[in-house]
Amino acid sequence: MEGNFTGLIHNKFNFCLNHELPMPYDKEIVGWLSTTDELDNLWHWFTKEDISKLEEHGYFIHIYEATRYRFHNNHWVICQETSVLLEQVKLKDLFGENIPK
């Protein structure tokens, strides 16, 4: 959240589909959160199995209302300061107990 590179996706969370995707520190997006414009586009970056395992570590899908957003390199980012958190969602909230792969 402070723009510090942790590398968690590359080591602790290396079970994720895109864990080898380079994600270097980028000072241009400090204060911005990486996002997708629609929930269905999230599955291009993380599988539902990835999300399920990330939830075990306390990471969840968050839905924001954003008025400041932009496309940066290959993905959308929203301004952390001005975006309003609307909801935290768990996979079971979306799919019930039968979460598709």
Domain count, the chain: 1
Q: What is the pLDDT of residues 5-30, one digit of tens each?
A: 666 777 788 888 888 877 777 888 88
pLDDT given for residue 5 in this prediction = 64
**What's the domain range around 30?**
1-101
* Averaged pLDDT, 29-58: 92
Whether pTM > 0.85 for this model: the answer is: no
Note the pLDDT of residue 2. 58
pLDDT at 36 over 90: yes
Q: Can you list the positions of beta strands (E) in the chain?
A: 32-35, 61-65, 69-72, 75-79, 84-89
CB count within 10 Å of CB 93 equals: 11
- pLDDT of 24 reads 75
